Structure formats: C-alpha cells, structure tokens
Amino acid sequence: MGPGVVVTGLTLGALAVVSLLAFQANGAQDRAAGAKPTASTTTSGGPAASPTPSASATPTAPPLPTISGSGTRVVYSISSHYVWLVDPKKNPQVAPGFPVTPGSVEPAPGSYSVYSRTPTTTGTDGKQIEHVVRFAQQNGVVFGFSAAVDGAPPTAEPNAKTGGIRSGRPDGQLLWDFAPNGTKVVVVA
C-alpha cells in the first residue's frame, strides 16, 4: 500500500473528527441559547441518543441538489454529506435533509437501487449497527446507509476501505422505513 492511501485515509479520518467536533460545538451553542432538546440532546441528563440530529431538527440542511433526478428516491450528496428522502406523492415532497458521516471511500456519482437490507449487524469498524440499507458495490467495497446503535460516528481505520454511510439513529429509522429493496438511490457530487 502506497503512502497516498495512508495519507488519504488519515485525511478522511481527520475530517470526520473535525466535523463531529464542529457539530458538537454547534449543539452546545444551541443548548446554551435555550434550544429545545433534539435527538442529540436529552431531557433526562443521560447520554445523548445520537451525535446526529433528527431530520426534523435540521433547519439548516442544504437544499436538495437540482441534479438529483426525479421520482421517489434517496439522494446522497458526497460534497455536503447529506441525505434527502424524496417522494413526489407526499407533501412536502422532500423531507428535510440530514447529515451523515461517510466511510473511508465514497460511491461514484450515479443512480443505484437498494438491493439488500439488514435490521442489525456489526459494522466494519466493529460497532453494532442497525437499519443497514445497501445500494452499491464498487471495487470490492459495499456502500450502504446505517446507524450505530450507540450513536457513535464510524471509527476511522486508515488501512480499511469502508463504504458505510452512517446517520444518527432517528434518521436511520426514517431511511429504513422509506427505502425498501428496489428504491432508487441517487449519488451526486
């Protein structure tokens, strides 16, 4: 394995940590300002259920990319690390987007279909995960959405190629309920 692969893995790991810290700082700022508890906070004083807020608690989600296709679909943006659930038969047609944390490898932009779902399993990082929705395989890497049962983001492993795209538990449940086998998944840059 060349030094470029290690550097890329370390860079992705560092970005994931920085993103998590920025998110946590933003959440602390919201709580200090008197914001109501979300899925990432708790009213019981116990640990937070998830480091990622639920879709309903994400008012600053970027807008749905205009090149995301048509019809019922899950849209994943590589550049913003957001997911949207789009159903033209519902009002609103687009559910608020929610942030996700990608694995060490991103899927190629394009249109895919959900081909496999697993209620619970162990992720490549050894964490217990749930609501696994797989949609692509490329160069030996399986790509899919999931949520860690403990709410933790994926652990960066610089030597492993992982395609798990992790959300918070509430958002993982939303995606699981929305995307049975055959559902279109559109990946945009």
Residue pLDDT, tens place only, 148-179: 999 877 776 778 889 999 999 999 999 999 99
Contact call for residues 54 and 41 (beta carbons, < 8 A): no
Between the alpha carbon of residue 113 and those of residues 71, 73, 185, the distances in Å are 13, 9, 6
Q: What token pair was written down for 155? A: 């652990």
- Angle formed at CA 100 by CA 22 and CA 26, multiple of 5 degrees: 25
Q: What is the pLDDT of residues 1-22, one digit of tens each?
A: 454 443 344 333 444 433 433 3
Show the beta-strand stretches assigned E in the chain.
73-77, 82-86, 98-99, 110-113, 116-122, 128-138, 141-148, 163-167, 184-188
Contact call for residues 122 and 129 (beta carbons, < 8 A): yes
| Side chain identity at residue 58, one-letter code | T
Residue 146 pLDDT greater than 60, yes or no = yes
Predicted confidence at residue 111, as pLDDT, reads 98
- Is this prediction's pTM over 0.85? no
